[in-house]
Amino acid sequence: MILPPATLGMLGGGQLGRFFVSAAHEMGYKVWVLDPDPHSPAGLVADRHLIAAYDDYVALDTLGAECAAVTTEFENVPADTLDYLSKFIPVHPAASAVAVCQNRIAEKTFLAEHGLPHGPFAVIRGEDDIRAADAGLFPAVLKVARFGYDGKGQARVADREQALAAFQHFKAEPCVLEKMLTLDFEVSVVLARDEAGTVRAFPPGENRHRNGILDVTIAPALALASLSADMQGSAERIAERIADKLGYVGTLGVEFFVCGGELFVNEMAPRPHNSGHHTIDACDVSQYEQQVRALCGLALATPRQHSAAVMVNVLGELWYEDGKGHGPYREPDWSVLHAVPGLRLHLYAKHHARAGRKMGHFVVIGDDPAQVLERALQARAAIGIRDE
């Protein structure tokens, strides 16, 4: 076990890292953050911020010498960096697990090899792969294998011709071609797993997206509960199996499509998940505390959600007069949100707002799930978040 006042290392300085730093500080640890952005949200609250690239071996040697263990807050940290640090100190999750989750080809292949439920797909490395793809895959979504997130690096394609055009637009980067499924809704499971293989999962949340970016999470998932009593358990069991097959240690997010009452794994995130933000306010242990516990070899807590919760993302366009990222720049009127009973606002202290950038979120909690959802959606509208 790694006990306070040990120093922990965090690769990545975004909001997920910021929440990790806060959780670790509350538990008595110090945290060093490595992130190239001098304005990184996690770096602002860390005990030390190493402003360096993820492949800067001088900075990595410093981290390895001064920290008792290292974790990450986003999946695009190079797996080679994690592998290098693991030669000196514990690194969780391992490079091998992150390498699967950060590449859609590796991810889909992993799901197929382990018999985990997934939609039909084809690996695309060249135009000939598109020409040879099963006609039944169309209409489809073409997704770049690396560095795509929040709807970036994706294109809906009705047929081969559109797929070829999109592939060229992506500069012939390796892709996956996924059949477009008819969605009932989307859910996600956030869990933590320790080195002994113990898993503790939070109840699944129901996710609603806007322009390819997570907009609202309802927890527990109301739509999931309406299908069958066992659906929640099925989602948790699949997510646990993924963590087991990856040999995963840490906090993991697994996104699911629900189609015709069946679960299909969409993707895995080797880190805390945006849809798990509500665990700070609505549960007796957060996903970030679980991340600290798993990293340090402490016993995982058994999550208990004490309140119904709805999380709403606050994106950068809200800082602009037209609500779309154009016109005069001004601070939103946060008093509108602070007046809502049971609402907790979290702002990430990011340096500059831009359209589509996650600048913060708020969570509404309460006893009645329907009333909580109604209050959250009313607050969402009152602060100026638009559906178009």
Q: Could you count the other beta carbons within 10 Å of the beta carbon of residue 191?
A: 25
* Two tokens, residue 170: 């992506």
Cα gap 275→253, rounded to integer Å: 8
Predicted TM-score (pTM) of the model is: 0.94
150 labelled ligand-binding:
yes
Is the pLDDT score of 66 beyond 80?
Answer: yes
178 labelled ligand-binding:
yes
Please report the pLDDT score of residue 223 as a whole number. 84
Does domain 7-91 fall under CATH 3.30.70.20? My reply is no
266 labelled ligand-binding:
yes
Please report the pLDDT score of residue 148 as a whole number. 65
Helix then strand then coil, in percent of the chain rounded to 5, is 35, 25, 40
pLDDT for 31-59, tens place per residue?
Answer: 999 999 999 999 999 999 999 999 999 99
Is the pLDDT score of 147 beyond 90?
Answer: no
18 labelled ligand-binding:
no
pLDDT for 247-260, tens place per residue?
Answer: 999 999 999 999 98
Q: Between 150 and 209, where is the model more confident?
A: 209
Is the pLDDT score of 197 beyond 90?
Answer: yes
- Residues 71-88, mean pLDDT to the nearest whole number: 93
* Domain segments of the chain as ranges: 7-91, 120-179, 185-382
Q: What is the mean pLDDT of the chain?
A: 95
- Residues 179-204, mean pLDDT to the nearest whole number: 96
DSSP alpha helices (H): ranges in 133-253? 160-169, 222-227, 231-246
Q: Cβ distance 176 to 104 under 8 Å?
A: yes
pLDDT for 203-228, tens place per residue?
Answer: 999 999 998 899 999 999 988 777 66
The angle, 0 to 180 degrees and rounded to 10, between the axes of the packed helices 15-26 and 287-296 is 70
The three-state secondary structure class of 16 is: helix
153 labelled ligand-binding:
yes
**Residue 235 identity:** A
- Minimum mean pLDDT among 23-32, 89-98, 319-328: which range? 319-328
Cα gap 17→89, rounded to integer Å: 19
Q: Say which CATH class 185-382 falls into.
A: alpha beta
209 labelled ligand-binding:
yes
181 labelled ligand-binding:
yes
- Minimum mean pLDDT among 2-6, 174-178, 384-388: which range? 384-388
Q: 199-201 and 185-193 as β-strands: parallel, antiparallel, unpaired?
A: antiparallel
- Residues 226-231, mean pLDDT to the nearest whole number: 74
Q: Between 342 and 324, where is the model more confident?
A: 342
Please report the pLDDT score of residue 151 as a whole number. 59
Q: Cβ distance 75 to 54 under 8 Å?
A: no
Q: Say which CATH class 120-179 falls into.
A: alpha beta
The three-state secondary structure class of 167 is: helix
Please report the pLDDT score of residue 388 as a whole number. 66
Q: Which residue has the tokens 């000196």?
A: 88
* Two tokens, residue 178: 């996924």
- Residues 356-373, mean pLDDT to the nearest whole number: 96
Please report the pLDDT score of residue 149 as a whole number. 63
pLDDT for 89-100, tens place per residue?
Answer: 999 999 999 999
Please report the pLDDT score of residue 229 as a whole number. 67
Is the pLDDT score of 103 beyond 80?
Answer: yes
For the purposes of burial, counting CB atoms within 10 Å of the CB of 132, is it exposed (0-12), middle (13-18) or buried (19 or more)?
A: exposed
